[in-house]
Copies of this chain bind each other. A is one copy, B any other.
Amino acid sequence: MTFELDRTAAVTPVGGGAYAADLDAGWVVGGGVNGGYVLAVATAALRAELAEVGHLDPVSASGYYLSPSVPGAATVRTRVLRTGGRRSTVAATLSQEQDGVEVDRLTVLAVLGAVADGGAPASDAAVEAVRRQPAPVDLPPVEQCVSASDAPDGGRLAPPLMQRLDLRLDPAYAGWAVGRPSRAGVVQGWMRLADHRPPDPWSLLVVVDALPPVSFDLGLPGWAPTVELTVHVRQRPVDGWLRVRHATRTVAGGSFEEDCEVWDEAGHLVAQSRQLALLPRAPRGRS
């Protein structure tokens, strides 16, 4: 527990499958506490619940966001739905007390198991023969990318979340920070946790939701609430920088999907996520 993420996303068992957590103000961004961090807290409780059977890595996790989380005490209630030899299916709901009433923030379905190393051989030759992955996104060198400390007054790059991460944005898609969005619907860059905590399957839950939303790059700077976020952790990352790309291809009917892909320094695709988010309304007077 020497790294910040492990410290701020820690949970304490309180019996009956319930866990106490304390959402840290350092992860506040936009409309509340960052959704990936809240998902990691809920999943920390699921890992604790499955520690005995050794299913510690999130293989798949779907979070449905019920209300914006706020810093402070939270309770995670877990339910084990199915335990198998290699993986278990589990559910969790994270809630917070608000004016004396328990309010649900996030409900999660997940499969936990063991995520394989990228170099691990496939189970047989026929499977090995079809191994494939998308090529890592091409990014300028880290030192040519844009970090929060490059912004004169911090501006949009300055929420507390940005101090938890060492994020270097590809300048080709960072113009929204100075009012010149590319309108490509892309945000991408290099990322690692600020204290250089090595990435693992669990910390990737934070990584997939930590970039600024692609709606900023569309020229829609308002809050874009997440309806649902599903993460698939595909391989165990090696230590080092991660390449992270967010993109949208469908902006219609009041919503957009934000697809995230994450590659590790070995060039392996280590996680994919998709979230469905609601389009922000344009600021008054600008529509």
Contacts and interface: CB of A to CB of B under 8 A. Distances in A.
Contacts of A235: 252-253
A151 interface: no
A187 to B, nearest CB: 14
Contact residues on A (Cβ < 8 Å of other chain), bracket: 35 or more
A50 to B, nearest CB: 15
Contacts of A122: 254, 279
Interface stretch (A33-41, A60-68, A167-175, A202-210): A60-68
Contact of A253 (B62, B115, B124, B134): B115
Contacts of A137: none
B228 A127 contact: no
Contacts of A286: 126
A147 interface: no
B269 A250 contact: yes
A132 B230 contact: no
Contacts of A60: 64, 227-228, 276
Contact of A67 (B82, B183, B228, B281): B82
Interface string A29-47: 0000000000000000000
A258 B62 CA distance: 16
A123 interface: yes
A89 interface: yes
